[in-house]
Amino acid sequence: MADNTAPRPFVVISGKAVHDAILGREKEMLDLVEHGYRLHGEGRTVNPPSYFLRFPDEPANRIIALPASVGGDGAVSGIKWISSFPANVGNGIPRASAVILLNDKETGYPLACLEGSIVSAVRTAASAALAAVRLGGGRPRPTKLGIVGTGLIARFVHSYLAAAGLEFEEVGLFDHSAEHAEGFAGYLGRADTVRITVHDSAESLVKSSDLLLFATTAAAPHVEEPGWFAHHPLVLNVSLRDLSPAVVLDSCNVVDDVEHCLKAATSVHLAEQATGNRDHVHATLYDVLTGAFTPPVDRTVVFSPFGLGVLDLVVSRDVYDRTTNGVVVADFFHEMSRYGG
């Protein structure tokens, strides 16, 4: 990958450059994320636990480090450093911000620093859309999409569902902020002719949707009743903490990685704490991709992706390889002589 006699120039890749490298390539991103899942399932990645920096005086805020390494043709190592400060939304800026550092597999030297929030949103959306297609393969085509939490991640997931070939007759929305739900409805109305319904409760939305997306900032379960899911929808539990253990235990649960997902008070982790076992976790998405597990059509199926740093890296490596307008920091590496000048 690199000339091991000298490090490559260090490049800073802005959010605009990341956006330009990804724009219009949703289907390629779907394939790339599936490739990342397959590499991970085949044991060709290293994906240590994520590390959480928390603030005792500000419990809603956190910054997470996701180190990883990917093998194969696009071999690279790196780390995503992503913050979540929910109060940002009230100040008119996105909740999350991030940077991603890539390291050369040959020398270990840093290759690039990328604005990471777009990469993170893309890999999350592509993961959710891939799961929607593969987990719903034996079901009737979903016609009613329900979205709980109407922020940036919901916008990206909605776009990637369309790129994956899913078309809906109706999109339902629920957000604890009516203003945000109406704003999202306006966004959808600019580009979509489907019927859009803003619901006044999560219950009415859940009961009227056959594909559900949870993309909130919830820190604890607020969807408590298994009976709301009696029609057995497919659920994309992207925000991880909306569903009560009772809902989880009444469902078939598919995760991206068992060890990663069953921690940090996710819904599936709370279910493990309630039962003392992991019997409620039925498969990983890799199992579904390889045909080792076929999701049932007569149960609610919940996909809970904790978010693998591996996926951030496969997308970031692709951006790095394609970007021609990154900013090269020519003197980033300065002390390169072992014994001085």
- Residues 75, 212, single domain; the answer is no
Least confident of 64-73, 154-163, 166-175, 329-338: 329-338
101 is a domain residue: yes
Q: Is the confidence at residue 283, as pLDDT, over 50?
A: yes
Indicate whether 157 and 303 sit together in one domain. yes
Per-residue pLDDT, 205: 98
Q: Which residues pair with 283 in a beta bridge?
A: 254
Regarding whether 145 and 37 lie in a shared domain, the answer is: no
Q: Is residue 56 domain-resident?
A: yes
Please give the average per-residue pLDDT across 277-286, as a whole number: 98
CA distances from 229 to 3, 122, 151, 157, 170 (A): 56, 28, 24, 21, 18
Q: Supply the pLDDT for residue 338.
A: 85
148 domain-assigned: yes
* CATH number of the domain that residue 37 is part of: 3.30.1780.10
113, part of any domain: yes
Q: What's the gap between Cα 173 and its chain centre?
A: 20
Check whether residue 270 and residue 131 sit in a common domain: yes
Sheet holding 252-255, edge to edge: 195-198, 170-174, 144-148, 211-214, 234-236, 301-304, 252-255, 281-284
Position 288 in a domain: yes
pLDDT of 137 over the 70 cut: yes
Which one, of 279, 287, 208, 280, lies nearest residue 243 by Cα? 280
202 plus 283 within the same structural domain: yes
CATH number of the domain enclosing 211: 3.40.50.720
User: Residue 5: pLDDT above 70?
Assistant: no
The number of beta carbons lying within 10 Å of the beta carbon of residue 339 is 4
How many structural domains comprise the chain?
2
Residue at 58 is within a domain:
yes
Contact 271, 242 (CB under 8 A): no
Given a cut of 80, whether residue 2 has pLDDT beyond it is no
Identify the DSSP state of 9: P
What percentage of the chain carries pLDDT values higher than 70?
98
Rounded mean pLDDT of 217-235?
Answer: 96
Asked if residue 156 and residue 264 are part of one domain, the reply reads yes
Average pLDDT on 92-108 reads 94
Structural domain of 104: 10-120+310-329
> Do 294 and 211 fall into the same domain?
yes
In-domain check, residue 170? yes
Residues 190 and 279 both lie in one domain: yes
Size of the chain, expressed as the number of residues it contains:
341
Regarding whether 268 and 218 lie in a shared domain, the answer is: yes
Q: Are residues 24 and 83 in the same domain?
A: yes
- pLDDT exceeds cutoff 60 at 1: no
* Nearest alpha carbon to residue 153 among 286, 48, 242, 51: 242
Residues 140 and 95 in one domain: no
Residue 335 within any structural domain of the chain: no
| Residue 24: CA count within 13 A, CB half-sphere | 2
Do 147 and 97 share a domain, yes or no?
Answer: no
Q: With bands split at pLDDT 50, 70 and 90, how would you rate the model's confidence at 336?
A: confident
- When the pLDDT of each residue in the chain is averaged and rounded to a whole number, the result is 95
Q: What is the mean pLDDT of residues 53-82?
A: 95
